[in-house]
């Protein structure tokens, strides 16, 4: 519990540091956002001066940061310079898309990674073990954009089973929404499945050599019950925390996948904002993503305490 209290106290300074990094690194982007926004009138110095004054770009950087941070503290993520909408409304519109994609990818990762890791450990040294390790190595080595393009060519163009791109909200058509996100979710969860498989295999190999597993076998319990109830139950303790961290990685790493499949989520939003020098959108999306990742780290600590009774110390 002391560990959790310490992590809670670290949230505020961590988020403050993240905000400084987000704002500071944003200034390193090449180009002048005022010139981009001015368009054809960009050659007019008066127009440029007016835009810079409206967007606080003519103030010193510390003043700009304090102004932005003040709005951030009150829940104001700013205003999009390009599409003239509040960043908070864009976040509310795009976040559910990325959350759906990330959660579906995580389900794929669990459905593939955990059984493959268990099978690889139980069948250690057999061709099952070698096949699972080969699949895991392939998942870690295959780029998401290449796998996505190959799946579009095979599943959509050649076989015509699923739509190649686009997105339909869950509230509009549930099954069509699943159909448009199942391929990108598989692509996104592919590498995470490989990571989970390797960790589950390692944890299972350690658990299978413990005394309580040998005792369970000596009692005459069926092997399936020994593996699932005794070995897997204890092997999942470190995997639970890893899963929470990997879920955050899925949410923050969906940029390429969303671009390949034209999914209108956080990834596509931030890429478009970068190309158009829309600083408030980039800052808002990165801050929300960083906050989600930090909260998932905290969730990982909480889960670790819950599944490991030895850490439940007042």
Residue 312: predicted pLDDT: 54
In the chain the domains, ranked by start, together with CATH numbers, are 87-311 (1.10.3720.10)
Band of residue 314 on the pLDDT scale cut at 50, 70, 90: very low
At 102, is the pLDDT very low, low, confident or very high (cuts 50, 70, 90)?
confident
- Report the C-alpha gap between 118 and 51 in whole angstroms: 60
Which of the pair, 234 or 131, is modelled with greater confidence?
131
Q: What is the pLDDT of residue 139?
A: 79
Label residue 289 by pLDDT band (50, 70, 90). Answer: confident
Question: Is the pTM here over 0.85, yes or no?
Answer: no
How many Å apart are CA 155 and CA 15, to the nearest integer? 42
Higher pLDDT, 27 or 163: 163
Q: Which is more confident, 303 or 271?
A: 271
Question: What is the chain's mean pLDDT, rounded?
Answer: 80
Percent of the residues in the chain that have a pLDDT greater than 90, as a whole number: 2
- The model's pLDDT over 229-245, given as tens digits with 9 standing for 90+, comes to 777 777 777 777 777 77
What tokens were used for 154? 């095979």
Q: What is the pLDDT of residues 45-88, one digit of tens each?
A: 777 777 777 777 777 888 888 888 888 888 788 788 777 788 88
Length of the chain: 314
Mean pLDDT in residue range 190-216: 83
Give 43 or 105, the one with higher predicted confidence: 105
Angstrom distance (rounded) from CA 172 to CA 150: 28
With 0-12 / 13-18 / 19 or more C-beta atoms within 10 angstroms meaning exposed / middle / buried, residue 285 is: buried
Is pLDDT of 206 > 50? Answer: yes
């Amino acid at each position: 519990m002391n560990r959790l209290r310490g992590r809670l106290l670290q949230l505020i300074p961590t988020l403050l540091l993240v905000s400084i990094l987000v704002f500071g690194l944003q200034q390193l982007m090449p180009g002048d956002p005022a010139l981009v926004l001015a368009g054809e009138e960009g050659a007019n110095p008066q127009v440029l001066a007016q835009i810079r004054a409206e967007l606080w770009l003519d103030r010193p950087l510390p003043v700009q940061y304090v102004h932005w941070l003040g709005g951030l503290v009150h829940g104001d993520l700013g205003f999009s310079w390009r599409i003239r909408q509040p960043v908070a409304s864009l976040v509310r519109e795009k976040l559910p898309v990325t959350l759906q994609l990330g959660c579906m990818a995580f389900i794929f990762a669990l459905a593939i990674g955990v059984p493959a890791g268990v099978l690889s450990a139980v069948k250690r040294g057999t061709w099952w073990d070698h096949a699972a390790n080969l699949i895991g190595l392939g998942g870690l080595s295959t780029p998401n954009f290449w796998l996505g393009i190959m799946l579009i060519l095979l599943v959509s163009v050649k076989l015509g089973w699923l739509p190649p791109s686009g997105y339909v909200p869950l509230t509009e058509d549930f099954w069509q929404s699943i159909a448009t996100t199942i391929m990108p979710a598989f692509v996104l969860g592919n590498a995470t499945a490989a990571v989970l498989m390797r960790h589950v295999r390692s944890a299972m190999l350690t658990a299978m050599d413990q005394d309580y597993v040998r005792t369970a076998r000596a009692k005459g319990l069926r092997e399936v019950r020994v593996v699932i109830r005794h070995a897997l139950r204890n092997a999942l303790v470190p995997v639970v925390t890893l899963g929470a961290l990997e879920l955050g990685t899925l949410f923050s790493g969906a940029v390429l996948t969303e671009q390949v499949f034209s999914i209108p989520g956080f990834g596509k939003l931030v890429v478009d904002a970068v190309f158009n020098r829309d600083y408030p959108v980039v800052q808002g999306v990165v801050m929300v993503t960083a906050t989600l990742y930090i909260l998932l780290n905290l969730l990982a600590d909480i889960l670790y305490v819950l599944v490991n009774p030895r850490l439940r110390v007042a």
